[in-house]
Amino acid sequence: MNRYTISEEAIRMDWRDRIISDPEILLGKPVVKGTRISVELILGWLANDWTFDTIIEAYPHITREDILAALAFAAEMLHDEQYIAKYKASA
């Protein structure tokens, strides 16, 4: 597997164990449980070519499993056909 491939582990992971949404934390944005680190922020780091190791070095309270959970959450949200239909309707 190369560094740009999402592992089967990430796809199968139950992100609900690690990703929460609470209106009292970042206005309800999905975050890593016990932190104020949002899924959006993690995806942004990855999109800017940060590696898992870079993220973990910069934020030692974030684990590899937290990053995989953020990816699994994003994959599930994008898999939702209603989201795709809404996006196409507004384009």
More confident position, 78 or 30: 30
Total-model pTM:
0.76
Query: Which range is least confidently modeled, 24-28, 64-68, 87-91?
Result: 87-91
61 exposure class (CB count in 10 Å sphere: 0-12, 13-18, 19+): exposed
Kindly tell me if the per-residue pLDDT of 77 is higher than 60: yes
